[in-house]
Structure 1
Amino acid sequence: MQKRLTVILAAAAALAAALPGAAAAMAQPVPHIELTKMMGRWYEVARLPNMTQRGCNAGTSDWVRNGDGFSVVQACHRGSPDGPLSEWKARARVADPVSNAKFKMSFFGGLVSQEYWVLDQRSDEGWLILATHDGKYLWLMSQKPVLPVAIRNEAVARIKQLGFDIGRLEFPLPARG
């Protein structure tokens, strides 16, 4: 019986390692964030690939407090930091009022919704890691257009520690000056 259990556990571990985002899906949100720390403009430093942002550069996400949630405008420039602007608007509400680290975001008038978790936040360094609850998508966001190299490397190391494949990260071009 114990041998069978060992084989099953080994097979499950191998399967989890083979699936992109499987280990990352077990990452948990931070225990608590202050909602005021979410407000303002965030700049995209890195992300896992996704269809919506293919070819996006100089990405931003503007969070404005709106009633019991936030109005969020995400934008990027297609092809280059000076390329055509694309925007998507969303509504975010806190999905877990104990931690404030889980958000339910709805897009296109509520037709599409997704839960996002703040997996790490370093207010003193001005960055946070935001991911979908299933670990399929992830963003490293900064309060400044460009993170200093040492801080960026620290944040990427944290992403790896959370179980994400940092070899898949895209580093879109930031906004110019």
Structure 2
Amino acid sequence: MITLAVLGMLSLVACAKTADPIPPVQGVDLSRYMGRWYVIASIPTRFERGGHNPVETYSRNADGTICTWFRQRPDNFDAPVKLLHSTASVVKGSGNGEWRVRFFAFLSTQYLIGWLKPDYDQVLVVRDARDYLWYMARTPRVSDADYHAMLGRAKSMGYDIAKIRQAAQRWPEQTIENRVFAGTCP
């Protein structure tokens, strides 16, 4: 009897509807997309939690892959900068709106451009699993109206917006490293 109950539960789980795929933005101009993006809000990975001044930077490699650098200051604005490097490849047929990102040479994950402002000033990067999300902009701040519009977009894509956290951004950075680099003493 227990075996039948377990089999019944497994069949219900197998039949449960998974979330529909999120269609990526089509026709992304990668040359315009490259550069510095400030993380405004996210459903962060464990590597990003507590990050201050998070920034993602993209550049094209000679082989067509995309070099990505994620930088942040963990836990406070004065912490030393931590960097995470990855390499991305555009998924064929995606109109440059879907990438596969490889970390540590063995971990590969989905990167979907779910929404992109026509002037390439703001972007919403999502995943079909709806487990992570990144709202980024070319500036460290966006208007309240833009932020709330992003929440609406994320909700319409099936995200639980209660999980979205605003990133701590304060620029320019005022750290000892920057003062010394600028030629002044602390």
- TM-score with structure 2 setting the length: 0.77
Partner of 1:27: 22
Distance 1:49 1:62 in 2: 17
Q: Is the 8 A contact 1:125 1:151 kept in 2?
A: no
1:88 paired with 2:84, answer: yes
Corresponding residue number in structure 1 for 2:125? 130
% identity of equivalent residues: 23
How far has the Cα of 1:82 moved from its partner? 2.7
Q: After TM superposition, what 4+ stretches of structure 1 lie above 6 angstroms from structure 2?
A: none
Question: 1:120-173: per-residue Cα shift (whole Å, max 9, x none)?
Answer: 100337111112342221100111111122112212211111111111101121
Cα separation, 1, equivalents of 2:103 and 2:21 = 25
CA separation in 1, counterparts of 2:108 and 2:147? 29
Give the Cα separation in 2 of the matches to 1:63 and 1:175.
Answer: 21
* Secondary structure at 1:156 match in 2: helix
Separation in structure 2 between the aligned mates of residue 98 and residue 78 of structure 1, nearest angstrom: 34
Which residue in 2 is equivalent to 1:173? 168
Partner of 1:116: 111
Distance 2:74 2:136 in 1: 18
What is the deviation of 1:97? 4.4
Structure 1 residues not aligned, in runs of 5+: 1-10, 17-21
Q: TM-score, normalised by structure 1?
A: 0.80
Q: Which one of 149, 158, 163 corresponds to residue 153 of structure 2?
A: 158
Residues 32 and 120 in structure 2, CA contact (< 8 A), matched pair in contact too? no
Q: How big is the alpha-carbon RMSD for the aligned residues of Structure 1 and Structure 2?
A: 2.0
The structure whose Rg is larger is: 2
Verify: 1:77 aligned to 2:77, yes or no.
no
Q: Would you say 1:105 and 2:101 are equivalent positions?
A: yes
The aligned amino acid for 1:140 is Y
SS where residue 176 of structure 1 aligns? coil
* Inter-partner Cα distance in structure 1 for 2:97 and 2:66: 13
- 2:123 is matched by which residue type in structure 1? L
Provide the residue aligned with 1:37 in structure 2. 32
Deviation digits for residues 5-58 of structure 1 (CA, Å, limit 9, x no counterpart): xxxxxx89xx66xxxxx64x5322112211123200001011113211121121
Q: Larger relative CO (CA 8 A, sep 6+): 1 or 2?
A: 1
Aligned residues: 158
Instruction: Spell out the pairing of 1:49-64 with structure 2 (5 A cutoff).
Output: 49-64=44-59
**Given the alignment of the two structures, is residue 146 of structure 1 paired with residue 132 of structure 2, yes or no?**
no
